[in-house]
Copies of this chain bind each other. A is one copy, B any other.
Amino acid sequence: MRKILALLLAAGSAFAADEVLAHVSAHADRFGAISRQIWETPELGFHETKSSPLLQRELRANGFDVESGVAGMPTAFTASYGSGKPVIVILGEFDALPGLSQKDVATQDPVTPGAPGHACGHNLLGSASALAAVAIKEEIAAHGLKGTIRYYGTPAEEGGGGKIYMIHAGLFKDVDAVLAWHPGDSNNVSLHSSLANNGGKFRFYGIASHAAAAPEKGRSALDGAMIMLNAVEFLREHVPQETRIHYIITNGGSAANIVPAFAEVSLIARNPDADVLNGVWERIMKCAQAGALASETRMEFEQGTNYANVLPNDTLSEVLGRAMQKAGGYEYTPEERKFADEMQKTLGAPAHRPGPETVKVEKTEGSGPASTDAGDVSWVVPSAQFTTATFVPGVGAHTWQAAACAGSSIGRKGMVVAARTLALAGVELLENPAEVEAAKQTFAKRLDGRHWTTRIAADSKPPLDYAMK
Q: Which residues of A contact B (CB under 8 A)?
A: 98-99, 195, 197, 199, 210-220, 222-223, 226-231, 233-242, 244-260, 266-268, 270, 283, 286-287, 289-291, 293-296, 348, 368-371, 396, 398
Contact = CB atoms under 8 A, between A and B. Distances in A.
Residue among A213, A240, A294 with the highest chain B CB neighbour number at 10 A: A294
A290 B230 CA distance: 12
A102 B99 CA distance: 37
B227 A226 contact: no
Contact of A237 (B220, B250, B256, B293): B220
A231 B370 contact: no
- As for how many copies of this chain the complex holds, the number is 4
A294 B235 contact: yes
A266 B259 contact: no
A270 B237 CA distance: 13
Given A230-B230, A370-B213, A246 B252 contact: no
Contact of A234 (B214, B220, B241, B368): B220
B199 A256 contact: yes
A234 B227 contact: yes
Contact of A195 (B212, B267, B287, B369): B212
B256 A369 contact: no
Contacts of A294: 228, 231, 234-235, 283, 286-287, 289-291
A246 B231 contact: no
A371 B257 CA distance: 11
16 contacts: A99-B254, A199-B256, A212-B246, A212-B270, A212-B369, A216-B240, A216-B241, A226-B229, A233-B237, A235-B294, A246-B259, A247-B256, A249-B252, A250-B253, A257-B268, A286-B294
Contact of A236 (B231, B236, B270, B348): B236
Given A215-B246, A258-B398, 18 more contacts: A210-B396, A212-B268, A212-B369, A214-B396, A216-B241, A218-B238, A223-B237, A226-B226, A233-B236, A233-B237, A248-B254, A283-B294, A286-B296, A287-B294, A289-B290, A289-B293, A290-B290, A293-B293
Given A230-B230, A287-B294, A223 B238 contact: yes
B238 A216 contact: yes
Contacts of A368: 213
Main secondary structure of the interface of A (DSSP, over half): mixed
Contacts of A259: 238, 246
A369 B234 contact: no
A233 to B, nearest CB: 4
Given A210-B396, A215-B238, A257 B246 contact: yes
Contacts of A291: 290, 294
A207 to B, nearest CB: 9
B213 A369 contact: yes
B234 A248 contact: no
A244 B260 CA distance: 15
A123 to B, nearest CB: 20
B369 A210 contact: yes
Given A227-B290, A398-B210, A248 B238 contact: no
A354 to B, nearest CB: 19
A139 to B, nearest CB: 38
In the A-B complex, list the 7 residue pairs whose CB atoms are closest, starting with the nearest. Answer: A249-B252, A248-B253, A213-B369, A211-B246, A290-B290, A231-B294, A290-B294
A361 B127 CA distance: 50
Residue among A234, A239, A348 with the highest chain B CB neighbour number at 10 A: A234
A371 B212 contact: yes
Contacts of A231: 227, 290, 294-295
